[in-house]
Amino acid sequence: MGKTSVAAATALKAARMGYRTLLMSTDAAHSVADSLEVPLSGSMTRIEPNLDAIEIDMLHELETRWKEIQKYVTDFFMSQGMDGITSKEMAVLPGMELMSALFYIDDFYQRDVYDVIVMDTAPTGETLRLLSFPDVSGWYIDRMYGIVKNLIRLARYTVGKVMSTPLPSDELLKDLEILGSRMKAVQKILMDPEVTSVRLVVNPEKMVINETKRAFTYMCLYGLTVDCLVVNRLIPEGNNGYFKEKIEEQEKYMRVINESFNPLKILTASQLPVELVGIRSLEKLGEMVFGGIDPVTHFSTDKPMEIYSDNGMDIISLKLPFTMKDTVHLYMSGDNLLVEVGQYRRSIALPTTFTRKEPSKAEFKEGRLHISFRSD
């Protein structure tokens, strides 16, 4: 689809306009280095004035951010008979690369190091894991941390004295508590449409359009504002010979895109005649996509979730475009509302004003799910 090229072109144009810009890759394929034609690593690399780039390196992250966790997991596997090298490799737990990428965002936001951070993410499924991670991980940490902490402290004075398996240290428990706090901070950053926006890159093809619709829905579910759609690889006008049928197909799908995603801002880029690598090619792509538009502009600051009162009812309104009613399921769990759409779930912490209220009605109106709560 060209997401890496669009991300790199966006970062380059922002830097050329004077913004202190970081281009960060969370994609395991790490195509950003290929796109820039500059070697990258887990440390900052200066590309040109105002533009740095980094590729998340999990081994580097383990050695710098996750020492306590790595030490405990490595010791645990070694206690089970695994050799040291294998134990160290097994210490890379699922989700660590996601947390590392998100912690960079928090670090730079708090320190005001950059004006703009452009993230080149992995394909749709991995990106949804990344952007939903603060919500999902926070839900588990909030519920499990206190229970686990008390059980471990009890175990130290009982079975821990005769067990060969190591128990987590106080330092590790403290790291986990900090982790939970930082996840909440990251979630706040991601869900603020004045700070964070998601831009989807799509080719004018049926399968890609359908995937993009699903991605748009799930981004909204997790409270992320999609402010722009970039339609890439359009065949330029004047190529009606061999490409006549392809151009007609693209025109048809452009109509579908405009009708389906209206009123979302839609930008376009044509297929270049040469491979899109290197600074000069990225300059051309940036000009095609943005022209005279500031690439840092927030084209939309609409919040996917709204909470309001109407006729004595408290209402949560969720933007869920392209969603069929029978794919949505709602559950209450304590003071949290669980919303499932397809295979994705979000836990919404209800405001204190919703205490002792139960959901009484849910209905779709113009692409939004409205959930009404009433007093018992």
pLDDT (tens digit per residue) in 45-70: 999 999 999 987 766 666 666 555 55
Is there a single domain that holds both residue 267 and residue 330?
no
Is 26 among the domain residues? no
The region of weakest confidence among 17-21, 261-265, 275-279 is: 275-279
Residue that finishes a domain, picked among 273, 291, 319: 273
The 3-state secondary structure of the chain, one letter per residue: CCHHHHHHHHHHHHHHCCCCEEEEECCCCCCHHHHHCCCCCCCCEEEECCEEEEECCHHHHHHHCCHHHHHHHHHHHHHCCCCHHHHHHHCCCCCHHHHHHHHHHHHHHHHCCCCEEEEECCCHHHHHHHHHHHHHHHHHHHHHHHHHHHHHHHHHCCHHHCCCCCCCCHHHHHHHHHHHHHHHHHHHHHCCCCCCCEEEEECCCHHHHHHHHHHHHHHHHCCCCEEEEEEEEECCCCCCCCCHHHHHHHHHHHHHHHHHHCCCEEEEEECCCCCCCCHHHHHHHHHHHHCCCCCCCCCCCCCCEEEEEECCEEEEEEECCCCCHHHEEEEEECCEEEEEECCEEEEEECCHHHCCEEEEEEEEECCEEEEEEEEC
| Listed ranges 56-60, 182-186, 359-363; the one with the highest mean pLDDT | 359-363
Q: What per-residue confidence (pLDDT) applies to 251?
A: 94
Mean predicted lDDT score pLDDT of the chain: 81
Q: What per-residue confidence (pLDDT) applies to 77?
A: 46
Is 350 among the domain residues? yes
Mean pLDDT on 108-117: 91
On whether the CB atoms of residues 177 and 145 are closer than 8 A, the answer is: yes
Is 109 among the domain residues? no
Q: What per-residue confidence (pLDDT) applies to 66?
A: 57
- What band does 303 get if pLDDT is binned at 50, 70 and 90? very high
> 129 Cβ partners below 8 Å, 6+ apart?
98
Is 150's pLDDT higher than 80? Answer: no
Is 339 among the domain residues? yes
Is 284 among the domain residues? no
Is 237's pLDDT higher than 50? Answer: yes
The count of domains in the chain is 2
Is 87's pLDDT higher than 50? Answer: no
% of the chain exceeding 90 in pLDDT: 44
Mean pLDDT on 186-190: 86
Report d(CA 115, CA 102) in Å as an integer.
17
Is there a single domain that holds both residue 309 and residue 367?
yes
What is the residue range of 340's domain?
A: 305-375
Is 273's pLDDT higher than 70? Answer: yes
- What band does 161 get if pLDDT is binned at 50, 70 and 90? very low
Is 264's pLDDT higher than 90? Answer: yes
Residue 11 has φ and ψ, to the nearest 5°, of -65, -45
Q: Which two tokens stand for residue 294?
A: 């500031």
The pTM (predicted TM-score) of the whole model is 0.82
- What CATH number did the domain enclosing 363 receive? 2.60.40.790
The region of weakest confidence among 17-31, 66-80, 120-134 is: 66-80
Is 247 among the domain residues? yes
Is there a single domain that holds both residue 227 and residue 267?
yes
- What band does 153 get if pLDDT is binned at 50, 70 and 90? low
Is 148's pLDDT higher than 90? Answer: no
Q: Is 151 exposed, middle or buried (0-12, 13-18, 19+ CB in 10 A)?
A: exposed
The strand pair at 226-234 and 328-333 is best described as unpaired
Report d(CA 299, CA 225) in Å as an integer.
10
14-45 pLDDT tens trace: 999 999 999 998 876 678 999 999 999 888 99
